[in-house]
Structure 1
């Protein structure tokens, strides 16, 4: 199975969890997913009233410089850990 296939499978498997992961786990998954699929964050930081958007932006921005393949590997590892914990 290729890296992209494993990444896409992990992304699908995470959507089918029976219990909700913690907010921090979800933010980490989001940041790794965005880094893996888009690359470095080049968007403007959301305004002060968009708290959820700021948290997501900050978490994604913390991954700046991480290679997309490395982000995919990290996403797969975290997804497997979360699936084992919440499935």
Structure 2
């Protein structure tokens, strides 16, 4: 199966996991998804210093800078498989 198809399937499966992942895992999923679909972070950090969720998301995505879309997709697929157990 083509990588993009596997990625799209993993995205759908991530919404039906048996247990809600921890915030750390959710940040991983978010950042890998963004890197796999958009590439390197293309937005400025949130201007509100108290928007901790937005800041954490931005920092997690920024941490993947330079990773190829394909590598991010594959890591996302592998992580969802692991979470499905």
**Shorter-chain TM-score range:** over 0.9
The aligned counterpart of 2:53 is 52
Stretches (4+) displaced over 4 A? none
The CA distance in 2 between the partners of 1:7 and 1:32, in whole Å, is: 11
Deviation per CA, 1:18-71: give whole Å up to 9, x if none: 321110001000000000000000211012021100000000000000000010
The aligned counterpart of 2:43 is 43
The aligned counterpart of 1:66 is 67
> How many pairs are equivalent?
84
The aligned counterpart of 1:11 is 11
The aligned counterpart of 2:76 is 75
Instruction: Tell me how far 1:83 sits from its aligned partner.
Output: 1.3
Equivalent position SS for 1:82: helix
- Relative to the length of structure 2, the TM-score reads 0.95
The CA distance in 1 between the partners of 2:42 and 2:17, in whole Å, is: 31
- Relative to the length of structure 1, the TM-score reads 0.93
Unaligned runs of 5+ in 1: none
